[in-house]
Amino acid sequence: MIRRFVCIIVATLFFLPVAVMGQDGSDIRETCCDLPGDANNNGSWANILDITYLISYLYFNGPAPPCIYEGDPNGDCAINILDIIYCIDFLYNDGPVPICAEDCPGW
C-alpha cells in the first residue's frame, strides 16, 4: 500500500511542468529555435548530452535550456519527463523528430 502511494507521488512529480525561469530567477522565455531538441544549445542535434541536460535541469537544479523552445522537443509547451522520453525514443527507437512550438501561450 505504501509502495503504491510512493509510486503515485513520484510519477506525479515527474509529470509536473517546470517553471520557465533561469537559475538567477530571470525569465528565459524567448523565441529561438534553430535546432529542436538541442537543449544544451551547443549546436548539435538532440543527443545523449541534451537528454542529460534536461534531466539535470528537471531533477537536479541544473541550468535551464538557453533557448527554452529547444528544451521542449515534443513541442507541447512544457518541459517535463515526456521530453526526455521523446528524445530517447528519437535517438534509440526511430521515434519522431524533435519539433519546436514557437507559439506557446505565455512563453
Binding to Ca ion by residue 44, rule CB under 5 A? Answer: yes
Interatomic CA distance for residues 5 and 49, integer angstroms = 32
Binding to Ca ion by residue 40, rule CB under 5 A? Answer: yes
Rounded-to-10 torsion of CA 86, 87, 89, 90:
120
Among candidate residues 72, 81, 75, 84, the one with its CA nearest the CA of residue 14: 81
Stretch that binds Ca ion, among 10-18, 23-31, 43-51, 95-103 (CB under 5 A): 43-51
Stretch that binds Ca ion, among 6-14, 54-62, 83-91, 92-100 (CB under 5 A): 83-91
Binding to Ca ion by residue 83, rule CB under 5 A? Answer: yes
Binding to Ca ion by residue 38, rule CB under 5 A? Answer: yes
Stretch that binds Ca ion, among 3-11, 19-27, 41-49, 93-101 (CB under 5 A): 41-49
Identify whether the C-beta of residue 42 lies closer than 8 Å to the C-beta of residue 49: yes
Helix (H) or strand (E) holding 15: helix 2-15
Interface residues with Ca ion (CB under 5 A) are 38, 40, 42, 44, 50, 72, 74, 76, 78, 83
